[in-house]
Chains A and B, each alone.
Chain A
């Protein structure tokens, strides 16, 4: 979080586009990645991200304190769901079809070596497939918590529910993810197997 975030938000609420764009620059990576995880398509994620920031600018007046990141990611999640709905109307591009295309979520990590990189990509694919098996609320909770590192309180804000509900969504989502990955144990990269078999 930027130190000057509150003032940037206040200026944005007064219609200062430059201030808002500073916030965009700060959060666009997180917003884009959430959309990417939810949509599993780089193109759709790009559209959803842009839509999310446009919606955020329009609704910035409705932000009443709390975690700006949670507020923004909530808008991003909604934009992603809208995008999903739009995709479903176009039969060619469903979520299943999108998850079949793994390239979108294959994020290269420059620090790793080529072998590690291949393993990581493989795990990435399995994780994305596992996430796709979750219920929407559980998927969002797990992504926001484990991928984006939001606190339970932030999650409660972003998902507009109680911390208790957040806890149960995360627990159920993780349990399902664990079951999915364990079922694919043999297919998983070794590092994961070693970790889980410790």
Chain B
């Protein structure tokens, strides 16, 4: 026990040898150390060796400076802080560019699986608040089922509803509560075709105009339901069933069949003047379809590919920007260090 205590004491004393040499040990500690030294040969030896080491180091001669290090001219004073400030800016820019690139990529891939229509639809749906597709579908009855079918098929085949979710999910959610309500109203859309002959154009026209905005939502909303039941034929009859007008079924069904073949908006425009039933819709439609046509046409013809190329160019530009940022960042760092 005493031995252990002595060893601990010895170790503590050894640690104090260095400050003792420098005279920075407190008077009390110095007295205690000197007391220990008087008894401990090992510590006396160690102190002597330590003193010799310190002395040898102190005797190391200082070399003469090989030349004058006086500055010939004032060096650029703000090089380092500037580099640091630049670095912060570059980091910020890099982060922004990376974020933008990520956004573009996400936007691009969200629309990738489909050829064009799907993209346009989601685009148009997002951008135009579904006004554009609505009219195209309302104008000719068939098209409603047509695009719905096609979209449903596409969704089913592509199997990427999640990617399209941002565009459609929102509309689906908005629309799902609507369909029953608009089903009647939306049924007004079919009615347009069927009831048109019986009802006056005035009544049909408001019906159409009313139907136009809600019908807009149902169509994207319709996509989820047909997705489960790919046969779009079921949905229209259901709508007619609600109406309880079996005679109307044939006319609506008929337009359905041509719809997939015929492009929705032009058909509406073409049929509107010619068909007697469609004559009801023309006036409310004409204002809207005019825009709709333009939009859908631009979307179909120019929108799809142009958007893709735009996205590609954006990506290329961002890539180049990122590369430039990285290079300049590296350069400033090196310069800052140097």
Contact = CB atoms under 8 A, between A and B. Distances in A.
Interface of A: 15, 17, 20-21, 24-25, 28-33, 36, 42, 46, 49-50, 53-54, 57-58, 82, 105, 107-109, 120, 123-124, 127, 142-143, 145-147, 149, 152, 167, 170-171, 174-175, 177-178, 181-182, 192, 195-198
Contacts of A198: 48
Given A32-B63, A49-B69, A171 B15 contact: yes
A181 B77 CA distance: 45
B228 interface: no
Given A33-B63, A192-B52, A17 B71 contact: yes
A50 B69 contact: yes
Contact of A178 (B46, B63, B79): B46
Given A49-B65, A178-B46, 18 more contacts: A20-B71, A21-B71, A24-B69, A25-B68, A29-B64, A31-B69, A36-B63, A57-B71, A57-B74, A57-B77, A58-B76, A124-B61, A146-B54, A171-B18, A171-B19, A174-B18, A178-B49, A195-B56
B140 to A, nearest CB: 74
Contact of B22 (A42, A54, A108, A152): A152
A120 B65 CA distance: 20
Given A29-B62, A123-B56, A58 B71 contact: no
What is the predominant secondary structure among interface residues of chain A facing chain B? helix
**Lowest 8 A-B CB distances belong to which pairs?**
A171-B18, A146-B57, A21-B70, A195-B52, A196-B52, A107-B63, A107-B61, A28-B69
A49 B73 CA distance: 16
A17 B74 CA distance: 6
B60 interface: yes
B307 interface: no
B58 interface: yes
